[in-house]
Amino acid sequence: MKPARFRYLRAASVNDALQALAENPDAQILAGGQSLIAMMNLRLVKPACLIDINRISNIGYIDEDGDGVAIGALARHNDVKHSPLIRERCPLLTEAYESIAHHTVRNRGTLGGNLCHADPSSETPAVMVATGATLMLQSLRGQREVGAEDFFLGTYETARRQDEMLTEIRLPGRRTDGWAFAEISNRHGDFAIAVIATTLRIEDGRCEAARVVASGVGEHAARLEPAEEALIGGPIDDARLDAAAAAAAGAVDPHSDSHADAAYRRDAIAALTRRTVRRAAARCD
Amino acid sequence: MTERGHIPESRQREKPRADLQWIGKSMKRVEDPRLLVGKGIYADDINEPEMAHAAVLRSPHAHARIVSIDVSKAQELPGVLCAMTGADAAKVCDPLPTWASPPVLQAVIADDRVRHVGEAVAAVAAVDRYIAEDACDLIEVEYEPLPPVVDPEEALTSTGDAVLHPERGDTNIGLERKLTFGPVEEDFAAADLVIERRIRWPRSGGQPLETVGAVASFDDGAGRFTIQCNTSMYNYCGWMIASTLRVAPHKLNIVPTLAGGSFGSKMFVHKVPVLAAVLARAVGRPVKFMEDRIDNTTSCDNHASDRVYYAKLALKRDGTLLSLKTRIIDDYGAYLQFGVGQHGNALSQCVGPYRINSVEVDLAAVLTNKCQQGAYRGFGSEVANFVIERLVDAAADELGIDRIALRRQNFIQPDQFPYLIPTGNMYDSGNYQAVLDETLKLADLEGWRAKQAEARKEGRYIGIGVATCQERSVFSATEFWMWNLEPGVEWTSSPDGVSVKIDPTGKAFVTLHSPFWGNSPETVAAQVLAEQLTIDPADIEITYSDTDQGLNSTGPGGSRFTVMVTGAIVGAAGKIREKLLRIAAHLMEADVRDLTLQDGAVHVKGVLDMKMSIAELADKAHYYRLSMPEDLDLTSGLDATYVYDHPVTTLPDPDERHMGIFYPIMGHSCHIPVVEVDVETGQVHFLHYAAVHDCGTMVNPMTLEGHIRGGTVNGIGTALFEEFSYDEAGQLTTALWTDYLIPTIKESPADIVVGHVETPSPFTEYGVKGGGEGGRMGGPPAIAAAIEDALKPLGVTIDSLPLPPSKLRALIRDAQARAA
Ligand SMILES: Cc1cc2nc3c(=O)[nH]c(=O)nc-3n(C[C@H](O)[C@H](O)[C@H](O)COP(=O)(O)OP(=O)(O)OC[C@H]3O[C@@H](n4cnc5c(N)ncnc54)[C@H](O)[C@@H]3O)c2cc1C
C-alpha cells in the first residue's frame, strides 16, 4: 500500500497552483489528502505530479458573502462544521456534518477537496444541491461560476476542468426555508448508503418550494423532482408525506454493493424523505 | 470409567482463598506505561543495517493455473534485490506447517496454481517498500482461470477442474465424518418434539490494528536464521518453521516482538516469517516483510469459522432437552492450517450449559477458493454457542415456555460438577443459576419489559435477549487432531513454562516463554509472583524468551494464558520459596517447619523480629556459599524454571465413544442486551447491555472486564456488521476496512454493564479460569435473540448473521409482505 512514484510541487499562492496545473496536465491538487492519498496508496490513481496547496495562506476562510457565506478552498471540514456563521446561515450543512467522517479525518480534509472528489456517497454534494450553492473555478484562463446542480456529473466526475482549481464555495442565505438532513450508513461516520437533504418553503400553510436531494443512490447527488412535485402546492400532511416518499423511492435507480442492496436503498430513500420533510416543515419560519 | 470417560485427580496446589494480597486486585497493567508512551517495539519498529523490504504480488483470481510468470522487468528495476516466483521458492523451501492429516500442501508462494484471491504469486525484496511495490507492478503473469468454488454447499459436489487439491482426490471435501456420542437415535425416538433450523454463521476474523510482520536474517557463517516476528506458539512448535526452511531446528532462532493485537490471529503465523526468511537468505541481507491491510485481509491466517448448520434439537413436551444432531458444512477456504481443530474446539461445549444426553456431529470441512481459516476469539466454539442458544430459544417459543425458564430447567446443577458431557469433555465447575440471577438483576429485566410494552403502543420495537453461554478455557493439544482419520501430529501435551530468578539484591525476574499479543501477560505474572513470594510487583521485571532460550510453552490462545502461567509461576516460586526457607533455616538456626514467608521476608513463626528479608537471603544465596550447608544440591543463586502441564487432559477413547477431556476449565456467561430496531431502516440501537461472567477466581477484575467488553464488541461486530464476503467470482468484496465493518464506539452500547460470579476451578491453581474470549461467545446469540424479540410482532426469525441494516430490513420486508 505505497503510492507509485510522483513528483511533488508546493504552491505558495493560488497563482502558483494555477501555473503548475497549466504546466502539468497530469497533475492533481493535494488538499487534505484524506481521499487522494488513500487512492494513491491503493494505486487506484497514479498521478504523475501533486500540487500541494496546503501552504497557501488565506484560502481557508469562512466569510460573510451578502446574506450567504463564502468558503475558501482550504477550509477544513472541522472549521466548517463548527462555524457559527454556517450554523446560522446554512444549518443544513452543519446538520450534515454530524454524519461526515471522523474527527481526525475532518481535521485534515477540506470541504473543497470533498466536493472535487465527488464521491457518489458523499453528503456534501447533496447539501450543495439542496441549498443551491455556487462553486468558483479558477484557471490561468480566468474564473467561472458553476451551480452545484451542474457541477456533479458522475462518480468521481465533476465539471471542473483539469487546469482549474476550486477556489471558493458560495452558499446562499437561508431566508425562511426549513431544512433537514438525514442519512443511513452502516456505521456512524461512514460514507452514506443513502442520504436525503431537504429544503422547504411554506407560506400560509402551503408548500411553495421544495428541494429533495438524494445521495448514495446514483452516480451523483441529484434532486428527486417527482418527490418535490408531490410536496408543492398544499400542506405537508400525511398524504403528501406518503406521496413524496413513494415518489422519491420511485425516482431513484440505486445499485447494490456489499453495504446494501438496491431494494434497501430504495426503502431507505422513502424513509429518509418522510423524516426529512417532516422535520424541515417543522423548521420553516 | 464410563461411556463418557474418566476424571483424573486434581493436581491443584493452591486452593482458592479469601486472604490473597495481589490476586483478585484490579492492579494497573504493568505493560501500559511503555506501550502508552510509544516505547513498545513492534515488528515494524525494527530496523537492521542494510535491511531490505519485501512486497508480495497477489493473485487477482480466485482459482487459476499460472501459465507463465516473468519477473525480468521487476529484476531490472533499480533498487530491486530479488524477485522470486513460486518455483524459485520451492527450490529452497518446503510446504508450510499444517496440522491437517493427510496434509493440505500450501506453498509460501503459489507455484502452479492459485487458490484464492490474494494468494502470493511472487515476492520482491528491494531497498524500500515503495520500490518493492513498483516492482510487483512490473511482474507479468499469465493465468488460465479455473472454475471458482465459492458456495460451501456446492463445494460438496465439486469435481474436475473445480477441485482445489487434486492430489487429495477428486473432491473439495477436506474431511467428512460423523461422530456420535451417546444414544442419539434412541433419544430422538423418545422425543415429543424436534426443533429444526438451518443456521448460517458468517466468515469474519480478528482485526488487530497491527498486521503480521517479520524481520528475518540469515547468518551465512553459522548457517542460521534469526526471525523476529509477532507470532505465538514459537516455543511450542517453532521448529516447524525451520523444517519448512530446510534447516535443523537449532539453526533458527525465533525472537518474539510485541504484537499490536491478535484476537487469535497471530496464533502460529507461518507465511510471513517464512517469506521474509527465504528472501533474506536469497539477498544476503535482513528482510522485513510487514503485511499491509490487503495482504492481511486477503491472505492471513485469521479468517474464522464460516459454517452452515442443519441442526436438530430433540426434547420432551415438558421442556426436557434430550439430544442434539448437527450436520455442519464448514467453509475452510483453500487450506487447512490447523486441520479441523475448530471443530475439536466446538465439541468442548456443544451442549451449552444444559443436560443433553447425546450428540451427533456430522461434519464436512470443504475447501473453497477463499483465504484459509485460522484462529479468532472462540476458535469455533462461539458458533456452537450460537447454534444451541438459537435452538433453545426456538424450543421455548414452540413450547410456549419462557426462554429463561426453559434454560433454568435444563441447566447442569451446581452439585453435578465435575460433569462430563456426551463428547467426553469435562465441565470442571459452575453455577449457572447464579450467573443468570446476577445478570437479570443488572439488566433490570422487569423494567425493560414494561418499557418494551409501552414502546410497542407507540409503534416502536424494543427487544430483550438472553443467552447463557459456556466459555471454555485452556485447550489441550488433542483438539487439533481428534477429528483426523489418519494419524498425523497426535500430541497430548500443551504446557507453559516460566523462568524465575531472584538476583543478589532481591529483585525478581520472570522470563515468559510466550509472547505479548495484546493481553496482559506481564501483569498476570507480576501479580501471581508477588502473591507467591509476598513481594511488591514493582520489584518484578518481566521479559520474553526467544526459541534459543525458550522452555516448552504453548502460548496464549484458547483463553489459556492466565491459568497456565499462574500454574507455572506457582511451580517455580515453590522451588524458590523452598530454597529461601532452607537457607533461612540454616542462617537463623531454626527448623524449616517453623518458618514462614511473609511480607517479603522469612520469619520464625511466633518470634518477633526473627526474620531475614528475601534480599538478605538472596545476597547470601549468591555470594556466601561457604556460609551454607555442605549439601551438593544447594548450589549458588536463587532461580527456578517450571513447565506447567495442562491441568487435566485425557486421551480420546480409541473407539471414539468420547473424545476425552480436552477443554475442561469451563467458564460461563450470561448476556442480556436490550435493543431497539427501526423497522423502516433495519437499524439496531443498543439501549442497555448487561453481561455477567464466571471465570473462576479472578486474577485481575479490571483486565478481565476489558476482555469482556472488548469481546462483546467483537460479538456485536459478528452479529451486526462484520463479514469477509466473497462474490460469485471469488472476489473478496470486503478486503478494506471501509467495507469490512468493525463496530466503533458509536455502534456499541453506551456502557456494557459487567458483573461477576466466581466459581473457582477445582483443577487450577487458585481456581483461576480463562476469560479471554467470552464476550464474543455470548454476544451474538444474545443480540440475535434481542432482535428476534423486538420483531416478534412481525414474526421475524433470526438464523443467519451478520445483520447490517440492509439484511435486517430485508427480513422485515419479507415478514411484512407475508403478513399483508
Ligand atoms: C475514514 C474516512 C471516512 C470518511 N468519511 C466520509 C464521509 O462520511 N463523507 C464524506 O463526504 N467524506 C468522507 N471522507 C472523505 C473526506 O471527506 C475527504 O476529506 C474528502 O473527500 C476529500 O477532501 P481532502 O481535502 O482530503 O481532499 P484530497 O484527498 O486532498 O483531494 C481529493 C480530490 O480532490 C482534488 N482537489 C482537492 N482540492 C481541490 C481544489 N481546491 N481544486 C481542485 N481539485 C481539488 C484532489 O486533486 C483529489 O482529486 C472520509 C475519509 C476517510 C479517510
Domains of chain B: residue spans and CATH? 32-40+495-644 (3.30.365.10), 417-475+663-820 (3.30.365.10)
Residues B291-306: pLDDT tens digits? Answer: 999 999 999 988 999 9
Q: Which residues of B touch A (CB under 8 A)?
A: 55, 129-130, 133-134, 137, 292-294, 680-683, 721, 725, 733-734, 736, 738-739, 741, 743-744, 746-747, 804-806, 809-810, 813
d(CA B700, CA B413): 27
Q: A105 CA to middle of ligand 1, Å? A: 9
Q: How far away, in angstroms, is A117 Cα from ligand 1 center?
A: 6
- Distance from the CA of A123 to the center of ligand 1, in angstroms? 12
- Decide if B601 contacts B611 (C-beta within 8 A): yes
Q: Whose CA is nearest to atom 37 of ligand 1?
A: A113
C-alpha cell at B83: 524477485
Tens digit of each residue's pLDDT (9 = 90 or more) over B224-268: 999 999 999 999 999 999 999 999 999 999 999 999 999 999 999
Inform me whether the pLDDT recorded for B1 exceeds 80: no
Percent of residues, chain B, with pLDDT higher than 70: 100
Instruction: Give the pLDDT mean for A51-71.
Output: 97
* pLDDT average, residue stretch A104-120: 98
For CA atoms A121, A127, A130, A133, the dihedral sign is: negative
What pLDDT band is residue B786 in, cutting at 50, 70 and 90? very high
Give yes or no for residue B670 having a pLDDT over 60: yes
pLDDT tens-digit series, residues B448-502? 999 999 999 999 999 999 999 999 999 999 999 999 988 888 999 999 999 999 9
Task: Assess contact for B671 and B407: CB atoms under 8 A.
Answer: no
pTM (two decimals): 0.97
Would you say the CB of residue A243 lies under 6 angstroms from ligand 1?
A: no
Under an 8 A CB cutoff, do A271 and B681 touch?
yes
- State in Å: Cα B62 to ligand 1 middle: 32
The pLDDT value recorded for residue B731 is 98
pLDDT at B323: 98
Burial of residue B95 (CB within 10 Å: 0-12, 13-18, 19+) is: middle
Q: Does the beta-carbon distance from A184 to B746 stay under 8 Å?
A: no
Q: What is the pLDDT of residue B2?
A: 67
Q: Determine contact, residues B779/B718, Cβ cutoff 8 Å.
A: yes
- Closest CA–CA distance from residue A149 to any residue of chain B (Å): 28
Please indicate whether, in this complex, the C-beta atoms of B738 and A257 are within 8 angstroms of each other.
no
Whether the CB of A24 sits within 6 Å of ligand 1:
no
CB contact under 8 A, B809 and A187: no
- CATH class of domain segment(s) A7-52: alpha beta
What mean pLDDT is reported for chain B?
97
CB of residue A126 inside a 6 A radius of ligand 1? no
Q: What number is the average pLDDT over the span B648-672?
A: 97
pLDDT band for position A174 (cuts 50, 70, 90): confident
CATH 3.30.465.10 domain span(s) along chain A: 62-171
Residue type, A40: M
CATH number of A178-284: 3.30.390.50
The DSSP secondary-structure symbol of B352 reads T
Query: CB of A191 within 8 A of CB of A216?
Result: yes
Q: Give the residue on A whose Cα is nearest the Cα of B128.
A: A2
Residues B181-218: pLDDT tens digits? 999 999 999 999 999 999 999 999 999 999 999 999 99
Ligand 1 pocket member A116 (CB < 6 A):
yes
Average pLDDT over every residue of B392-419? 98
Confidence of residue B677 (pLDDT cuts 50, 70, 90): very high
List the single residue in A with minimal CA-CA distance to B733: A258
- Could you tell me the three cell numbers for B382? 462461539
Which of B429, B315, B318 is closest to B695 using CA atoms? B429
| Chain A: residue whose CA lies nearest to B132 | A2
pLDDT at B798 over 90: yes
Query: What integer is the mean pLDDT of B710-718?
Result: 98
pLDDT tens-digit map of B584-634: 999 999 999 999 999 999 999 999 889 999 999 999 999 999 999 888 889
Name the DSSP class of A237.
-
| pLDDT score of A285 | 82
Burial class (CB in 10 A: 0-12, 13-18, 19+), B26: exposed
Helix (H) or strand (E) holding B436: helix B432-443
Contact B809 A267 (CB under 8 A): yes
Residue of A39, A98, A103, A259 to mutate when probing chain B, most B C-beta within 10 A:
A259
Mutate to test the interface with B, among A258, A259, A273, A278 (most CBs of B within 10 A): A258
What digits encode the pLDDT tens for the residues B353-377? 999 999 999 999 999 999 999 999 9
- Considering chain A, tell me which residue range(s) the CATH 3.30.43.10 domain(s) occupy: 7-52
Instruction: Give the chain B residue whose CA is nearest to the CA of A46.
Output: B134
Residues of chain B in contact with residue A43, where contact means CB-CB under 8 angstroms, are 133, 137
Number of C-alpha atoms within 13 angstroms, CB side, residue B611? 16
| Fold (CATH) for A62-171 | 3.30.465
In sequence order, which residues have a C-beta less than 8 Å from that of residue B40 and are 6 or more positions away?
B34, B258
Share of chain B above pLDDT 90, in %: 97
- Per DSSP, helices labelled H in B290-431 are 293-299, 341-346, 381-399, 403-410
**pLDDT of A164 above 90:** yes
Total beta-carbon pairs less than 8 A apart between chain A and chain B: 71
Smallest Cα distance from A43 to chain B, Å: 10
pLDDT of residue B630: 87
Q: What is the pLDDT of residues B739-768, one digit of tens each?
A: 999 999 999 999 999 999 999 999 999 999
Q: Is the CB of A123 under 6 A from ligand 1?
A: yes
Q: Would the CB of A28 count as within 6 Å of ligand 1?
A: yes
Question: Per-residue pLDDT averaged across B378-391, rounded?
Answer: 98
Cβ-contact B610, B595 below 8 angstroms: no
CB atoms within 10 A of CB B112: 11
pLDDT at B120: 98
**Yes or no, beta carbons of B810 and A263 under 8 Å apart:** yes
